[in-house]
A and B are shown apart, each in its own frame.
Chain A
Amino acid sequence: MTASVSLEKITCTFASKSGEGSYTAVRDVDLAIADGEFVSVVGPTGCGKSTLLNVAAGLLRPSSGSVKIHGEPLAGINRRAGYMFQSEALLPWRSALGNVVTGLEFRGEDAGAAREKGEAWLERVGLAGFGDRYPHQLSGGMRKRVSLAQMLILDPQILLMDEPFSALDVQTRQLMENELLELWSANRKSVIFITHDLEEAISLSDRVVVLSAGPATRPIGEYVIDLPRPRDVSEIRLTPRFIELHDRIWHAMKDEVLKGYAQTRNRTTS
């Protein structure tokens, strides 16, 4: 069976601004996501998670290696993927509703129908009645939810999500996580989910991939999460199997997190 997304021997080297020297963020990364699989990627800050996601989206061309989508080499933008960015990505001059329906407009869908769909999606992410607000009039968490609706309304087969819920409070976050799981189990999409939060990774995923600290980041561990589905993200955290998995992965990660932190510090201070 061919993987939905497969990164093969991906290496990304960034030239530094001053011209001399370069920084290899990720080296020889292999990562395959099966059709309908939910994979979380965790790793210390600055290790190259967003870089890998940009490669999978076709926004960044790797220095070497190849990306295959359903077995076909990716050229240009990955049209089957929806991407939820780590930083602010809404169009500031469009209202919340306008932002949600942007993708439909790009496809040339009928404005009235798009509007209706958009309203429904706003309601689903808990923003009914906020449709005419502009992004600057929304809170950070609300903006994230608009981004989520903006991506999901297009019903992409592959979801690329870069720390989507890190700006939310715990309650809203768990609501959104459950909502995401529900949507995902309704029509199984392939998901690459990036997070700092190991608990979030375990409670959502089929598989957790741990990345080493940079430079030359690569996966150092893969853990199959065999927790039963359907899950409730807040309840599942209390089960013994969850705690066992968490302990195992956390032990493997701890050294890398410390290393990553030290390296980032050295890079900025030296």
Chain B
Amino acid sequence: MRKKLWIWQLVLLVAIFAFWHVATHPELIPPFVWDNPNRAAFFFGEPVKIFKVIVEWFAGGEIYPHLWVTLQETALAFVIGSVLGLAIGLWLGLTPFASALLDPYIKAMNAMPRVVLAPIFMVWFGLGIWSKVALGVTLVFFIVFFNVYQGVKEVSPVVLNNATMLGATRRQLLRYVYLPSATSWVFSSLHTSVGMAFVGAVVGEYLGSAKGVGYLIHMAEGSFDINTVFAGILVLTIFALVLDFAVSAAEKRLLVWRPTQGETEQAL
């Protein structure tokens, strides 16, 4: 069943590209929307040419520095945002006064569309990677923060009492009970926060930079090179999929203690 599904997914992918090719390639079929046979290709690109661009990028090695920059920005934004979110989430979760005091400010900052901060970050941190990292951090931080805050509030009181009776000091409670509980919540939001770090990096590059896949797309748009734009988008999508895959693998290793449904082995 699993294997079959995989085959069907591949068939669907091929079908999509086949349709794309047939619908956009000039004079392959009679034009049905626009009179000019080249119009469709102008708007939607041509899969064959797109793949050519991608192959050239990888074969010529031109893409690697850009991918590397995007990856760096994503990873830095994720790590810094998570650590900040974890630290501040733990702190506010454990100090009711501070959390009551800061509550409206946090809500306001979370409600603000943070993409508009990108130009400010460019002024502050320049056109290098740090302005993109900063944008990613603002996106990642709130996801992690809210999860950790919730995680701290929902630590089982019996587990806390048990650790206390086993002789835990306040510090040890933090390290042995609150932190693992909070990190498990961080991991449960891992997919979203890695995704957000990526969004921050690419949007930042798109808005102004000299490197990165977002920058490639921006440059191609400037010259109406639609095939290159689509090639960039495809590369980004595959990149995101690989990231997501890595996250799933990490999750599996780090959350072994978590009960999941149906862990029995099935005879095939």
Contacts and interface: CB of A to CB of B under 8 A. Distances in A.
A150 B166 contact: yes
Interface in A101-119: 102-103, 105-107
A95 B206 CA distance: 46
A106 B168 contact: yes
A92 B164 contact: no
A106 B180 contact: no
Contacts of B164: 59, 77
Contacts of B165: 57, 59, 77-78, 81-83
Contacts of A87: 158
A195 B158 CA distance: 19
A51 B162 CA distance: 15
Interface of B: 156, 158-159, 161-169, 172, 176-177, 180-181, 184, 256-259
B258 A106 contact: no
Q: What's the dominant secondary structure at chain A's contact region?
A: loop
26 contacts: A57-B161, A59-B165, A83-B162, A85-B158, A85-B161, A89-B159, A89-B161, A90-B162, A91-B163, A91-B176, A92-B257, A92-B258, A92-B259, A102-B163, A102-B166, A102-B176, A103-B166, A105-B176, A106-B163, A106-B172, A106-B176, A134-B256, A134-B257, A136-B258, A136-B259, A150-B166
B161 to A, nearest CB: 5
Contacts of B162: 83, 85, 89-91
Q: Which 8 A-B pairs have the closest CB atoms?
A: A89-B162, A136-B259, A103-B166, A134-B257, A83-B165, A93-B180, A106-B167, A93-B257
The residue among A94, A102, A135, A154 with the most chain B CB atoms within 10 A of its own CB is: A102
A107 B256 CA distance: 27
B159 A94 contact: no
A179 interface: no
Interface in A93-144: 93-95, 102-103, 105-107, 134-136
A51 to B, nearest CB: 13
Contacts of A105: 176
B161 A59 contact: yes
Nearest to B168: A106
Given A79-B167, A93-B184, 7 more contacts: A81-B165, A88-B158, A90-B159, A90-B162, A91-B163, A91-B177, A136-B258
